[in-house]
Amino acid sequence: MEYQIIEEEKFQYIETKGGQRTLLLLHGLFGALSNFSGILQHFGTRFNVVVPMLPIFELPLRKVSLAGLVDHVAKFVEAKGYENVHVLGNSLGGHVSLLYTLAHPERVSTVCLTGSSGLFENSMGNSFPRRGDYEFIRNKTEKTFFDPTVATKELVDEVFNTVNDRNRAIRIIATAKSAVRHNLSDKLDQIKVPTLLIWGKQDIITPPFVGEKFNELIDDSTLHLVDECGHAPMMEHPETFNSILEDFLEKY
């Protein structure tokens, strides 16, 4: 099922309106709606699954930071009138999920992190990616996954077009640097809501030891490691991912 992107004031988002409980999905730095298609299809008729577009490329340059993204999410949740949300974030979206939960614990029922930044992450680097080099971008995108065929031409083209836009490339670097500065190791003990961690065993961007460290530092957390899986378990193993998530959400 295709979901239309809704534009309301300064917000762009998808909303399935499939149930009373709200499942808020936060995408990563190179995230696209296709990343969450499996979750939308599986949960969209039973949950109000909502995917706000994080304004990484729309914020004023001086506000490009994790703080700016968390503020956007907070204003979105407030504007929509969601009293409680189940927050799920992949990669940078996981980092934003944690910061939002720390700032607004009264709004969050549960947290699910998959390949989250916030403790340690490898990335394309702290300087400009190699613009104009399609093979370099294709190789980097493929390495996001255990199975390189998950990196379709459409996905590679999207990343390639993003990093070849100078304005977008600057914002990607600024956001990535902000993520490195916002290390959460000394704050994770403040996360008190039930937390699900789903990690790829072959994730080379946020390796399994990162998931294990999150599990150690967040008191009420459960870690699931998915074999033959890289940085985006919900894309590589959607059935396994959805089964783990469903079992978790049924408890809350």
Q: State how far the Cα of 147 lies from the Cα of 201, in Å rounded to an integer.
A: 12
- The pTM score is 0.93
Q: Is residue 125 part of a domain?
A: yes
pLDDT, mean over the chain = 92
pLDDT single digits (tens) 50-103: 999 999 888 887 888 899 999 999 999 999 999 999 999 999 999 999 999 999
Element housing 51 (H / E): strand 48-52
Q: Which is it for strands 6-8 and 11-15: parallel, antiparallel or unpaired?
A: antiparallel
Domain membership of residue 213 as a residue range = 6-250
If we measure between CA atoms, which residue out of 203, 204, 196, 211 comes closest to residue 243?
196
Domains in the chain, number: 1
pLDDT single digits (tens) 119-142: 988 764 444 456 678 998 898 889
Q: Is residue 1 part of a domain?
A: no
DSSP 191: -
Q: Any idea what the CATH number is for the domain that residue 70 is in? A: 3.40.50.1820
Q: Is residue 215 part of a domain?
A: yes
If we measure between CA atoms, which residue out of 107, 109, 114, 76 comes closest to residue 93?
114
Q: Is residue 45 part of a domain?
A: yes
DSSP 235: H
Q: Is residue 72 part of a domain?
A: yes
Q: Which residue has the tokens 């549960």?
A: 110
Q: Is residue 86 part of a domain?
A: yes
